[in-house]
């Protein structure tokens, strides 16, 4: 297996749909198979509420040095502003990935499952293609929110 998709930390799911860009940072991401990943997305997320099975999305595991991107994408909701203004992205088939991330993935949404007793959803995606930047390290939550 060559895909090393995540480290629990700063992972971005992003896409464009109906002339609006959606994106959010998700700490709860994992590989669930050799070519499938999963992300737990909170019910408050406009990005999550607009995901549908079959959507093509970009998933980026951010690299060290991309703390500002992580913070900016977590500030507001996608229906309030263009969260990607000033961020270098690569757009393909409606997907958006963050340029120079540790891992850049093009994915297809396969399952959106509401969790029992919660409004949060677990999204399963098939990785269609990926690029792994071996010269970079994953951005960890500890780098974004250092302990005082």
Residue pLDDT, tens place only, 121-146: 999 999 999 999 999 999 987 777 77
Tens digits of per-residue pLDDT, 71-111?
999 888 888 889 999 999 999 889 999 999 999 999 999 99
pTM over 0.85: yes
The residue whose two tokens read 């995901």 is 51
pLDDT at 2: 59
Residue (of 17, 28, 18, 88) closest to 55 by Cα position? 17
């Amino acid at each position: 297996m060559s895909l090393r998709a995540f480290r629990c930390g700063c992972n971005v799911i992003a896409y464009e749909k109906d002339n609006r860009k959606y994106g959010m940072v998700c700490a709860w991401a994992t590989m669930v198979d050799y070519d499938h990943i999963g992300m737990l997305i909170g019910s408050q997320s406009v990005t999550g509420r607009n995901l549908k099975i079959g959507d093509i999305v970009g998933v980026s595991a951010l690299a060290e040095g991309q703390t500002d991107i992580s913070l900016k994408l977590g500030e507001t909701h996608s229906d309030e502003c263009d969260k990607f203004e000033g961020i270098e992205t690569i757009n393909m088939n409606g997907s958006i990935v963050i340029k120079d991330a540790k891992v850049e993935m093009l994915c297809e949404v396969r399952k959106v499952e509401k969790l029992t007793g919660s409004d949060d959803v677990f999204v399963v995606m098939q990785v269609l293609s990926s690029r792994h930047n071996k010269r970079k390290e994953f951005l960890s939550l500890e780098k974004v929110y250092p302990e005082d």
